[in-house]
Structure 1
């Protein structure tokens, strides 16, 4: 018995058999895949009773590369890094510059206290703590059962 994989993502496979396979093999080639890597770092967002936490994975950067700003109710996190190595007197067959930049924007919830946001960068992770306003913190109390 032969097992055939079913991929519902492939459209028009009945109309143009093999076209998607050829297209995927060209796009999946290492020449293109190195350039298709997403330049936007992954983000984890969590919430506790006291604050919101944002963790942004950005290894290889320095804290000086980051810009964190607030405009109205938007939290903007951006970074820019460029590296140029200059070696005089050498003849290059191939020389590549390293340049990367990204911007992530998040809408701040009304319960976040924008004046008390703190940020730190350690071991490739930018961590932001957005404390909640006092009136927004969850008040818990024990209810007596009669």
Structure 2
């Protein structure tokens, strides 16, 4: 499974420069930039014997905010949080919470059983299960000699 950049109108040379920049900076700085500036939530991908486990860190969202879609071999995980207009009588001194939307896409290979992909949102983490297809074993056949 590989990461595919989506909705990025920037040139490849700029992407290469940004990748080098983030790889050479301390991990925490790159992580902060990725989450805060670029809007990408961090993702862990774990391979097990019979499936891949995709974990998207997205605290503060509701289950209904997520959209997980498979289009051919492209898996898209997105979330949009709608901020309700509230009339509050309290004076807000500082507001750091914001409603950010995100979209991540991944290219799945032929090893994934697309019909059985599952998703669950729990404790701020979206868990996506990507089961592997059972390997087709070559059938043994005796051939008679004529």
Residue 50 (structure 1) aligns with: 50
- Offset, 1:87: 1.4
Describe the shift of the 1:43–1:91 C-alpha distance in structure 2 as closer, same or farther (beyond 3 A): closer
- Higher share of residues assigned helix: 2
- What do you get for the CA RMSD once the two structures are aligned? 3.0
Matched residue count = 104
TM-score (ref. length: structure 1) = 0.60
Residue 103 (structure 1) aligns with: 103
Distance 1:58 1:95 in 2: 19
Q: Could you list the runs of 5+ residues in structure 1 that have no partner in the other structure? A: 1-32, 138-146
Distance 1:49 1:136 in 2: 16
Q: What secondary structure, in the 3-state scheme, does the structure 2 residue paired with 1:134 have?
A: coil
1:67-86 → structure 2 map (5 Å cutoff): 67-86=67-86
Describe the shift of the 1:70–1:41 C-alpha distance in structure 2 as closer, same or farther (beyond 3 A): same
Distance 1:67 1:80 in 2: 8
**RCO higher in structure (CA 8 A, sep ≥6):** 2
TM-score (ref. length: structure 2) = 0.60
Q: Could you list the runs of 5+ residues in structure 2 that have no partner in the other structure? A: 1-32, 138-146
- Offset, 1:91: 9.8
Instruction: Work out which of the two has the higher radius of gyration on C-alpha atoms and give 1 or 2.
Output: 1
Residue 40 (structure 1) aligns with: 40
